[in-house]
Amino acid sequence: MSNADLVIKDGLVVIPGTGILETDIAVEGGKISALGGEFTGRKEIIASGRYILPGIIDPHIHLGIFGDLVSEMETETRSGLLGGVTTVGCYMGGPDPYYPSFSNTIAMTEGKVSTDIFFHLGIMTPEQKEEIPRLIEELGITSFKLYMAGIPGLIPDVEDGFLYQTFETAAKIGDGIIICVHAENPSINATYRAELQKVLTDGSLADWSDTQPNFSEEEAVRRASYFAGLAGNRLYFVHISAAESIRTLAAIKSANPKIFVETTSPYLSVTKFSSKGLLAKMVPPFREDASVEALWQAIQNNIVDTIGTDNVTQTLAVKQVEKGMWGAMPGYPALGTHLPTILNYGVNQRGVSLVKVAELMSKKPAEIFGLYPQKGTIAPGSDADLVIIDLDKTVKVDHRNLGSAGDFSLFDGEELKGWPIMTIKSGQLVVKDSQLVGQSQGKFLRRSIG
């Protein structure tokens, strides 16, 4: 009998890429020290036959867009932790050079985040593009984002020439760097928006979807994939929403293994006909049922690599639904419901396997963004970030229990079946039955192109 800091007994351990093992997990110094074997723990958790997943990695969140960055580092990572998310990838942007000022943002995470965090930086100007090697070397940031279509009034679009040149810059650096792209055609969107503005002074959530048609996303996917094929860089499509894009990506991905696809848990569970109306206004918009089904099919067929949230923390006062379709802000908080929506709509309703869930929500985000195997699996040497789930637990969602600074949820009032019941971060039990029970100290994850 050896000693360990913590032993988790009697769980069904879901190991992405491997399967489900009935085994104990020993934890020492915040890392997994062994699977199986005879251990006595100074602390013990009895999992009672429940499934244990590697801590969820949400590769796509935003912090500080509408609220204070530092306070959202606290509230939103706490919301993530309550929902079984132990690592977040946060997009940051702005028109100014990042070096060296972004090191201050990294320093701000200290003592604030309760999940681990890594950053992706938006590349919007030639100066920022020139900074890329330095941002990798000196700040440990290896993922960058380009907006083929921005958010009108908030984020500018980039031209194709700039997009292609950034891809070439990335290709020269190699496969350690990854370029993320928001794929939509801004000219198509502008035309559709202008036409609708002539006839609609206000509109529904479904009308909002018509301002950014499905083919606008599909076309941009084709174009960016073509450029990436020529340049030779790794390319990651954020928040893919439309069936048309998925169909195209199935062909593109079979020809180019350097192309990766993310969708989001809201796109897998909400349509443009949602009863939440304009509260669900988003960019890209929610689509029709066929797209939701195509996304689930793409998860089964390995076309989708990762699932994020695109969490944008918002209050009703910021969202301003009362300003109507044109005036309401896009975005919603989604970290606290990320895993429950996938367990409800995917595992419980569609028979998606937990091994698949662990792959798309933990292993692949870790691999694609350079964090594997420190993150993304349950194996000796990996960080002891774990989530124990109860597939039968049913909870009616109430945003007040989700820990976010946002004061609404897309799922308020909806019963979701399948919830995390314990979150273990760096070997500490930090959430039990949706309550914080321990202090979690998250850290900035410095990456290298190794």
Query: For residues 330 and 346, which CB has a smaller minimum distance to Zn ion in the complex?
Result: 330
Q: Give least dist CB 360 to Zn ion, A.
A: 18
Q: In Å, what is the CA distance from 133 to each residue of 120, 145, 371?
A: 14, 15, 19
Task: Verify binding: residue 310, Zn ion, rule CB under 5 A.
Answer: yes
Task: Verify binding: residue 244, Zn ion, rule CB under 5 A.
Answer: no
Cα dihedral 88, 335, 403, 204, rounded to 10, equals: 140
Q: What is the footprint of Zn ion within residues 133-172 (CB under 5 A)?
A: none
Q: Give least dist CB 310 to Zn ion, A.
A: 4
Provide the token pair at 406.
Answer: 């946002």
Q: Give least dist CB 200 to Zn ion, A.
A: 26
The 10 Å Cβ neighbour count of residue 353 is: 14
**Which one of 203-211, 276-284, 304-312, 415-423 is the stretch in contact with Zn ion (CB under 5 A)?**
304-312
**Which one of 194-202, 254-262, 307-315, 378-386 is the stretch in contact with Zn ion (CB under 5 A)?**
307-315
Query: For residues 145 and 447, which CB has a smaller minimum distance to Zn ion in the complex?
Result: 145
Report yes or no: 80 and 88 within 8 Å, Cβ to Cβ.
yes
**Which one of 113-121, 140-148, 159-167, 308-316 is the stretch in contact with Zn ion (CB under 5 A)?**
308-316
Query: For residues 150 and 376, which CB has a smaller minimum distance to Zn ion in the complex?
Result: 150
Query: For residues 209 and 382, which CB has a smaller minimum distance to Zn ion in the complex?
Result: 209
Number of residues that bind Zn ion (CB under 5 A): 1
Q: At what angle do helices 214-231 and 243-255 cross, to 10 degrees?
A: 10
Q: Give least dist CB 161 to Zn ion, A.
A: 24
Task: Verify binding: residue 74, Zn ion, rule CB under 5 A.
Answer: no
Task: Verify binding: residue 76, Zn ion, rule CB under 5 A.
Answer: no
Query: For residues 219 and 310, which CB has a smaller minimum distance to Zn ion in the complex?
Result: 310
Q: In Å, what is the CA distance from 447 to each residue of 111, 238, 375?
A: 20, 20, 12
Q: At what angle do helices 160-173 and 126-139 cross, to 10 degrees?
A: 30
What value, to the nearest 5°, has the Cα angle with vertex 34 and ends 29 and 35?
135
End-to-end CA distance of the chain: 38
Query: For residues 305 and 310, which CB has a smaller minimum distance to Zn ion in the complex?
Result: 310
**Which one of 72-80, 264-272, 306-314, 322-330 is the stretch in contact with Zn ion (CB under 5 A)?**
306-314
In whole angstroms, give the CA distance from residue 23 to residue 36: 5
Q: Which of 325, 277, 316 is CA-nearest to residue 407?
A: 316
Give me the residue whose beta carbon is nearest to Zn ion.
310
Interface contacts to Zn ion, rule CB under 5 A: 310
